[in-house]
Amino acid sequence: MTLSRALKVALTVALLVVVGAFVIQAFPAVAGVDYSFTVQSGSMEPAIQTGSVVFVEDVPAERVEEGDVITFSDDGGNLITHRVIEKHAADSSVRFVTKGDANENPDHEPVYRDDLVGVVAFSIPLIGYVVAFGNTTLGYVALVLVPVVLLILNELWELWKAGTRGEENV
């Protein structure tokens, strides 16, 4: 394989990874989950790093157990992803005590059933940075327009080379 061919293959694979990250983040059902969120802080490090995308499955509160990592809405409407360290269930109510892995103390307020978004099924490190960059003008140009233009130019170059080879054989 020539260096030129290897570079084309590497660039194509990189483009597919970036496009795949956008698709799976934008359409989490493709990955078999209900939601995807970008992690904005380091409260769950090292298990889930800042900039990761977490993929969250909608799960009934009764199925959530201690040790599960959940995403929930706080009083201000912010989404938080922390680990359940205690579960308290009564006849018709369930509440969780949560804590970020990197935090020393549990969260101040318990998480109630209505605040639960779901359980984190898996996460992909660093992809959130790529997604955030791709949502900027520069990111769109760098991750979408430039690769498309390069692909078109490459195809035109290949057609031109094939045309010149054909003329030499006449």
pLDDT in tens, 33-77: 999 999 999 999 999 999 999 999 999 999 999 999 999 999 888
Q: How would you classify the pairing of strands 94-99 and 79-89?
A: antiparallel
Query: Cβ contacts of residue 26 below 8 Å, gap of 6+?
Result: 36
Say if CB 65 and CB 87 are below 8 A apart: yes
Tens digits of residue pLDDT in 87-101: 999 888 899 999 999
> What pLDDT, on the 0 to 100 scale, is given for residue 50?
96
Q: Is the dihedral of CA 45, 50, 53, 59 positive or negative?
A: positive
Known catalytic residue: 36?
no
Q: What is the mean pLDDT of residues 18-28?
A: 83
Tens digits of residue pLDDT in 92-126: 889 999 999 999 999 999 999 999 999 999 999 98
Average pLDDT, the chain: 89
| Active-site hit among 43, 52, 115, 123 | 43
Residue 1: pLDDT band with limits 50, 70, 90:
low
User: Looking at residue 145, what DSSP letter applies?
Assistant: I
Known catalytic residue: 82?
yes
User: Looking at residue 64, what DSSP letter applies?
Assistant: -
CATH fold of 33-123 reads Umud Fragment, subunit A (2.10.109)
Sequence ranges of the domains in the chain:
1-31+126-161, 33-123
> What pLDDT, on the 0 to 100 scale, is given for residue 34?
96
Known catalytic residue: 108?
no
Rounded Cα–Cα distance for residues 170 and 166 (Å): 7
| Active-site hit among 36, 58, 75, 82 | 82
Say if CB 102 and CB 58 are below 8 A apart: no
> What pLDDT, on the 0 to 100 scale, is given for residue 167?
61
Rounded Cα–Cα distance for residues 126 and 49 (Å): 8
Query: Cβ contacts of residue 139 below 8 Å, gap of 6+?
Result: 132, 133
> What pLDDT, on the 0 to 100 scale, is given for residue 97?
97
Rounded Cα–Cα distance for residues 58 and 113 (Å): 12
| Active-site hit among 58, 75, 92, 107 | 107
| pTM as predicted | 0.76
